[in-house]
Amino acid sequence: MNTKFKIFALALSVLISAEVPVSCQTTDELSRYTGLTLPKPYWIPGNLIVKLRVNLGFNAQTGGKSVARLQALGATGIKVVNDPLAARTLGGSTATVILTFPPSVDLELMKHRAESEPDVLYAEPAYPVELFGMANDPGFKSQSYLYQKQLAEILTLPINHDVIVALIDTGVDASNPDLEGHVIAGKNWVSPNELPTDSHGHGTHLAGIISARNQNKFGVVGLNPRAKLMPLKIVNSTGIGSQIDAAEAIRFAVDNRARIIVCGWGYFIYNQVLKDAVDYALSRGALVVSAAGNQGGSLRQYPAAFAGVIAVGSLDANGNHASFSNVGEHIAFVDDGKDIVGLGLKGTQMSWTGTSQSSAIVAGIASRVLSYNPNLSGTDVRTILMLSAEPIDSVQKSVECGHGRIVSEKLFRALNVPSGNEILGDDGRVVADIVSAPVAEPIWMTVLLIPYRILETGIKFLF
């Protein structure tokens, strides 16, 4: 890892105490607002993202006249990220192009030149992403988070259908016996010619929280063993990834029927190409669940701070806001994030701490709800989760904890399902007499959801 990035990573550990407005998108703006000196953001050398209006001159190989002029300034390569027809769902016909320059080229200069072109909507460097989980010692034998507020009872909710959960992370160790049959085809942006196998451990740990096999006398218990995990590898073995790859992965997940997208990573610079991808996912009804960040202050991390994303913070072992968990008005929910026991590489168990782990718990709950009733829309699931949250310290909505922690009793009530007594197996069959089959949505919820369903394709939530 080069010295420049080490300085950058060290500076990220500074705790920010002031609430930062979403309008602050550059380091200079953040510094003026917070009064702190922040590092110049580290970007991936040689990559410039350009968003274009598509006209008759557009060509998938050359990018049209505007890009051709930029390429003539020294670009060594060009790549069209997405089909321009898909971008029409976001208003207008556009395309995203990545220009590759030698590492020595001044990207700020290229950015300004690109934005002077008439067909260019914006240009920006390719920023990295960093993981929001920290590994601890292996060997823990108790998944204590399952027993907070009777969360284990969610394992009695009938799971009648598979649901695809896209895990955009370090990949997944599909050879782990606790994930056997639970991992479907994914994609690898780090090494495109290889399977998205985890060489880091973070992605596998989140995978176990969400979908580890139940009642197989091995490993840990997943919140929804009917969740089919789609591993989308954008983060390498050192924990570094690219927001370009993250944006592509989000679009890939949506186009391949993922209902839930889990992002256990982020970065403190607002990036438009990532925002466009998130908006695309939300417009197609997907749930995007993101870790709030582990810096312990209110410096916004993206994608968690984008409107419509379910941002998740952490609680400590005593059920209080964890000191490392980022805060802000965008926080939707919190859950345990300290010493979370889960799967490690090569069949081991590991304990990790971070908002990544908390986001995986919330994503697992959301996927369980969809496995119970796949006819629920993304808007329905958001509302059910909000109705199922119990405020922390009797504060209905706070910048530290959002709406609070999702609890089983309220979740079953929101779904109009009686609480059960036995855990269900991987096949979804009842082990003993527990919860009945799915029932019709209660009338009170139907009435409550009318305005949301009317506006479902356009409404944006910021919990």
- Answer yes or no: 173 catalytic: no
- Answer yes or no: 321 catalytic: no
Q: What is the pLDDT of residues 39-56, one digit of tens each?
A: 455 677 788 888 887 765
**Residue 447 has what pLDDT?**
52
Architecture of domain 45-125: 2-Layer Sandwich (3.30)
Q: Which of 119, 169, 173, 198 is catalytic?
A: 169
**Residue 141 has what pLDDT?**
43
> With bands split at pLDDT 50, 70 and 90, how would you rate the model's confidence at 93?
confident
Give the Cα separation of 463 and 460 in Å (integer).
Answer: 10
What backbone phi and psi angles, to 5 degrees, belong to 325?
-80, 125
Q: Is the pLDDT of residue 12 over 60?
A: no
Query: 452, exposed or middle or buried, with CB in 10 Å at 0-12, 13-18, 19+?
Result: middle
Mean pLDDT of 1-22: 32
Mean pLDDT of the chain: 77
* Percent of the chain at pLDDT exceeding 70: 70
Which residue in this structure is represented by tokens 């929804």? Answer: 224
Q: Which of 356, 358, 388, 408 is catalytic?
A: 356
Which of 184 and 103 is assigned the larger pLDDT? Answer: 184
Mean pLDDT of 195-205: 95
pTM: 0.77
**Residue 31 has what pLDDT?**
47
- Answer yes or no: 200 catalytic: no
* Percent of the chain at pLDDT exceeding 90: 41
Selection from 146, 354, 365, 366 nearest residue 264 by Cα: 354
Which of 181 and 54 is assigned the larger pLDDT? Answer: 181
Could you tell me how far CA 228 lies from the centroid of its own chain? 16
> Do the beta carbons of residue 388 and residue 414 sit within 8 Å?
yes
Give the Cα separation of 374 and 371 in Å (integer).
Answer: 6
Q: In sequence order, what are the beta bridge partners of 353?
A: 134
Q: Which of 66, 119, 178, 202 is catalytic?
A: 202
> Do the beta carbons of residue 460 and residue 308 sit within 8 Å?
yes
Mean pLDDT of 147-156: 70
Domain residue ranges in the chain: 45-125, 131-454
Q: Tell me if the bond preceding 303 is cis, omega within 30° of 0.
A: yes
Options 1.25.40.10, 3.90.1280.10, 3.40.50.200, 3.40.50.11810; CATH of 131-454? 3.40.50.200
**Residue 426 has what pLDDT?**
55
> With bands split at pLDDT 50, 70 and 90, how would you rate the model's confidence at 164?
very high
